[in-house]
């Protein structure tokens, strides 16, 4: 069984970013990423802080805007409009989830698709479906694909089962795996919470992407011998023995599933580091595409 290391692959992606950033700076351009946080959700604040730090470590131009929870829809739209018009900003990310009074879909649609490094704008969703390489793919599924490729997992002709149908992971993951070319050409089944006899489907899978958001959901009986499992889940479960009182676990019951696998990602230390790495890569790509 091979343990697929997210931090190792993320470092490779970031090294590629550094090379491209140096080339862009030699042309007088520094890629810029703006991250907007509305409210004071602790998890979101931690994510934003880590994104900002990674930008600075790489030498990107980083703008971190922290807005109060009382920010109105129009005020947030105005912030997005200013960032759209700022030539020093190549990528815009509004941290999800915003406060409940904010229409998140409207904010996503307001972002310039050429700066939508999260890959959620309808134009970029369409480009993914059309296999248009100028579009931006959501960072988590893009990171999952890169993990498979770097681990030498052949997707061509493989049966891949994606568990979860969100626009953040499940649907774009399925489209990436179906697309023509490296990391694609798979036969894809999308399963979800309403799927009947899930085990019968997952036991046929060569590759399983677990992104359903339920701790330890995927058990040994769901997986055939020699399968490859990518665990996207990050769930907090109570752990009285730990200092924090909780621990992070995936959607996969790792201890019982891993012995059956050809390769598997752990949680933590799997998909997580790839999400920020691919955000940096998307920002560099946005900068490159903005040049004449």
161 φ/ψ angles, rounded to the nearest 5 degrees = -115, 120
What is the torsional sign of CA 173, 179, 182, 188?
positive
Catalytic site residue from 95, 112, 115, 251: 95
* Partners of residue 190 on adjacent β-strands: 162
Active-site residue flag, 288:
no
Task: State the Cα torsion 89-95-100-103 to the nearest 10°.
Answer: 40
Give kind and range of the element (H or E) at residue 129.
Answer: helix 122-129
- SS3 for 263? strand
Catalytic site residue from 112, 118, 206, 231: 118
Active-site residue flag, 118:
yes
- SS3 for 25? helix
Joined tokens for residue 184: 């694609």
Joined tokens for residue 115: 């700066």
Q: At what angle do helices 170-178 and 122-129 cross, to 10 degrees?
A: 30
Active-site residue flag, 197:
no
Catalytic site residue from 51, 115, 127, 171: 51
* Active site (catalytic) residues: 51, 95, 118
């Amino acid at each position: 069984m091979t343990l697929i290391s997210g931090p190792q692959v993320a470092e490779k992606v970031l090294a590629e970013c550094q090379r491209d950033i140096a080339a862009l700076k030699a042309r007088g351009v520094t890629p810029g990423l703006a991250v907007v946080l509305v409210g004071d959700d602790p998890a979101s604040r931690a994510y934003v802080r880590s994104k900002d730090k990674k930008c600075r470590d790489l030498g990107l131009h980083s703008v971190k805007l922290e807005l109060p929870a009382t920010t109105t829809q129009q005020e947030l739209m105005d912030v997005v409009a200013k960032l759209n018009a700022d030539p020093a900003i190549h990528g815009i990310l509004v941290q999800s989830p915003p406060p409940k009074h904010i229409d998140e879909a409207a904010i996503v649609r307001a972002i310039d698709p050429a700066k939508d490094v999260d890959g959620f704008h309808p134009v970029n969703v369409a480009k993914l479906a059309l296999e248009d390489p100028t579009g931006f793919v959501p960072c988590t599924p893009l990171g999952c694909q890169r993990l498979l490729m770097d681990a030498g997992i052949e997707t061509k002709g493989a049966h891949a089962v994606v568990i979860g149908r969100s626009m953040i992971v499940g649907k774009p993951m399925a489209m990436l795996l179906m697309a023509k070319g490296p990391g694609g050409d798979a036969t894809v089944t999308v399963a979800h919470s309403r799927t009947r006899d899930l085990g019968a489907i997952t036991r046929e899978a060569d590759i399983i992407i677990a992104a359903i958001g339920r701790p330890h959901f995927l058990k040994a009986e769901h997986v055939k011998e020699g399968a490859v499992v990518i665990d996207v889940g990050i769930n907090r479960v109570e752990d009285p023995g730990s200092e924090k009182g909780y621990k992070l676990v995936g959607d996969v019951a790792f201890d019982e599933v891993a012995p059956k696998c050809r390769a598997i990602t752990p949680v933590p230390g799997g998909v997580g580091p790839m999400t920020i790495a691919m955000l940096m890569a998307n920002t560099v790509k946005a900068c490159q595409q903005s040049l004449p």
